Chains A and B, each alone.
Chain A
Amino acid sequence: DTEVTQTPKHLVMGMTNKKSLKCEQHMGHRAMYWYKQKAKKPPELMFVYSYEKLSINESVPSRFSPECPNSSLLNLHLHALQPEDSALYLCASSQESGGDQETQYFGPGTRLLVL
């Protein structure tokens, strides 16, 4: 199973809402990532978890809160978002200790619209 799944596929939320994005992989990978991708732009790294510990936070606003409950799951909690946060949110995983040579497996993404 080389699949990374993400739910929901689409999400519309108001600026006062609280919602969560979920990501799951069953490949035994120990590194998991969140990316944000705006239209016609490349993915931008937001967070990296390694062995369920947050290892990289790319200066992401606190209205985005990541959580890694176990080695297979990754959540992104959203609160008080702004319309400019509307984007495709991608989850990815890689095998073990990271490093630039590790292949990342991406999910299909959650398309988020903030009204």
Chain B
Amino acid sequence: LAKTTQPISMDSYEGQEVNITCSHNNIATNDYITWYQQFPSQGPRFIIQGYKTKVTNEVASLFIPADRKSSTLSLPRVSLSDTAVYYCLVGDSTGGFKTIFGAGTRLFVKA
């Protein structure tokens, strides 16, 4: 399984763009990259998923370079409510249902 490495924590201010980078050097050819958000005492919530290049939805953008050994979650104009833990996951291309969460990045947005 590809292991992921993320910064332990990040601070930001309201209205700023936040970029969280995840390293996954051993990503396999068929693996997708998925990001989840988790608030305290709640279950994780899907944010975005991608395979290569750039993916954008109403919440975030995901940038994946050509070698796919890293990815960057971009949150535009964060607000206080974006304070949460963000997890980067790389799938198990051998198939099945295994989901291995990395340590996650604690984002703290200040006023």
State which size class the interface on A falls in: 20 to 34
Contact assessment for B97 and A33 in the assembled complex, using a CB-CB cutoff below 8 Å = yes
Q: A55-B96, A56-B96, A100-B34 are in contact. Are A92 and B43 (CB under 8 A)?
A: yes
| Residues of B close to A105: CB separation below 8 A | 46
Inter-subunit contact B41/A111 (CB<8 Å): yes
Any A CB within 8 A of the CB of B103: yes
How many residues belonging to B are interface residues under a CB distance threshold of 8 Å? 27
User: Which B64-111 residues have a C-beta within 8 angstroms of A?
Assistant: 87, 89-93, 95-104
Bound Cα distance from A109 to B45, whole angstroms: 12
Besides A45-B99, A99-B95, A100-B89, 14 other CB < 8 A contacts? Answer: A33-B99, A42-B101, A42-B104, A56-B96, A56-B98, A88-B41, A92-B43, A98-B96, A99-B96, A100-B32, A100-B90, A101-B91, A106-B44, A111-B41
Q: Tell me if A's interface is mostly helix, strand, loop or mixed.
A: strand
Q: Is A31 an interface residue (CB 8 A)?
A: yes
Query: Of all chain B residues, which has the CB nearest A100?
Result: B91
Tell me the smallest distance from the CB of B30 to a CB of chain A, in Å: 8
Chain A residues near B49: list those with CB within 8 A. Answer: 101, 103
Q: How far is the CB of A108 from chain B (nearest CB, A)?
A: 6
- Chain A neighbourhood of B87, CB < 8 A: 42
Task: Tell me the residues in window 75-115 of chain A with beta carbons closer than 8 Å to chain B beta carbons.
Answer: 88, 90-92, 94, 98-101, 103-109, 111
Whether B29 is near chain A, meaning CB under 8 Å from some CB there, is no
What does the 1/0 interface line of A41-65 toward B look like (CB < 8 Å)? Answer: 0111100101000011000000000
B93 & A100 in contact (Cβ 8 Å cutoff): yes
Q: What is the CB-to-nearest-CB distance from A88 to chain B, in angstroms, rounded to a whole number?
A: 7
On chain B, the residues within 8 Å of A48 by CB distance are 96-98
Given contacts A42-B101, A45-B99, A55-B96, contact A101 B41 (CB under 8 A): no
Residues of B within 8 A of A103 (CB): 34, 46, 49
Residues of B within 8 A of A55 (CB): 96-97
**Do the beta carbons of B101 and A43 come within 8 Å of each other?**
yes
Does A4 touch B at the CB level, under 8 Å?
yes
